[in-house]
Structures are given as C-alpha cells and as structure tokens.
Amino acid sequence: MRTREGGLIVDEEAVIARVRAGEAEAYATLVRAHTAVALRAAVACGAGAEAEDVVQQAFFKAYQALGRFKEGSAFRPWLLRIVVNETRNTVRAAGRQRAVAGREAELLAGEPLIPDAADPALALEEDERRRRLLAALDGLGEDHRQVVIHRYLLELDETETAQALGWPRGTVKSRLSRALKKLGLVLEGGDGHE
C-alpha cells in the first residue's frame, strides 16, 4: 500500500503482527507511513501548535492499544480516530477556542503563499476562497465539521470515514450531505444555520 504522502507499507497486517509478536521496532514503519496524515488531522481539528505533541501521544496510545486492534481492519481510520480524540482532549484541557486564522496558517505551513508561476491576482482570489471555506467550515456543528474534515481534508473514503468517526456509513452519508448543503448556503451568501 502506498500512502498519499509517499510512504510505503508492503503488508500492514504483517507489520502489526510483528509488533504484537514483540518486535517493537516494526511499529516505526506504521509511524513513518501515517505521520503526515495524522498531523493534518490534528491541525484540521484545531490542535494548532500542539499538533506534533498530539500526534506523538496518539501514536503512543495506538501502540499501547494495538493488542485490541481488530485484525483485518484498516489501521489509518483507527489511528485517526485516536488522533481526533487526543486533539479534542488537548484543546479542551488547554481551554483554547478554534481560531480560523490560526488553523488556516497551519494548513498552509510549508506551502508557498504565491507559487512562482502564479498570477498574484489569482493567488489572492484563491486565498480568499480558502479563507471563506475555512470560516464556513468553522461555523458548522461538530459532527458536520468532523465528517467534512475526514472525508475531504484527510481524503478518507466513506468506509474509512465511518470507521474513524465510529459511525455507520449511512450516518456519514447523511451528515456529509447536510454539511455540504450548509457549506454551500454559507458560501453562496446565505446563513446556513440550522
């Protein structure tokens, strides 16, 4: 399996079996393969500057719970569920509120603001679209925001999203549909509130 970030795991189940058999060093393979998506999840869920700490704690908790990991399941959605829960706990404990501008800055970290070949006017327009989308996303209720983040920002498929959030697939479909309608209303100038 090749991850979006370019990491390669030949057989995830075999790696997990090696870790369960006492070869703790094999866990590094899973960490390397899933760190980038775990960081994106933590940032998208509001961890901000604490994202790396959240991800490190999530990998530690996943390692401790690997004995309870259901054989044959996908590791990524299971891990992302731990990351999201750890992010919630960290944000709650710190008493911080989500800040649209801060999250946008984190999402753009490492990316050039204006690509070398881009028209500055188009780059400015794209920045404004991104700002409006993040503001609209921030205005959604928690369940709707989470389903959009998992499905589109983290690029999980429907099944993985359901696994990561612990919801039935039908719930993912219906909440995603409602969330996209609300986002559309907000982005078209309506209020999109329930």
Residue 6 has pLDDT above 60, yes or no: no
pLDDT at 3: 45
Q: Which of 74-78, 132-136, 137-141 has the highest mean pLDDT?
A: 74-78
pLDDT at 192: 54
**Between 7 and 58, residue with greater pLDDT:** 58
Complete domains list, the chain, with CATH: 1-97 (1.10.1740.10)
Residue 9 has pLDDT above 70, yes or no: no
Range of lowest pLDDT (5-14, 41-50, 57-66, 136-145):
5-14
The pLDDT tens digits for 19-62 are: 999 999 999 999 999 999 999 999 988 888 899 999 999 999 99
Residue for token digits 């959030």?
A: 165
Q: Is 6 exposed, middle or buried (0-12, 13-18, 19+ CB in 10 A)?
A: exposed
The model's pTM is 0.68
- The answer to whether 4 and 41 have CB atoms below 8 angstroms apart is no
**Between 52 and 118, residue with greater pLDDT:** 52
**Measured distance CA(48)–CA(193) in Å, rounded:** 26
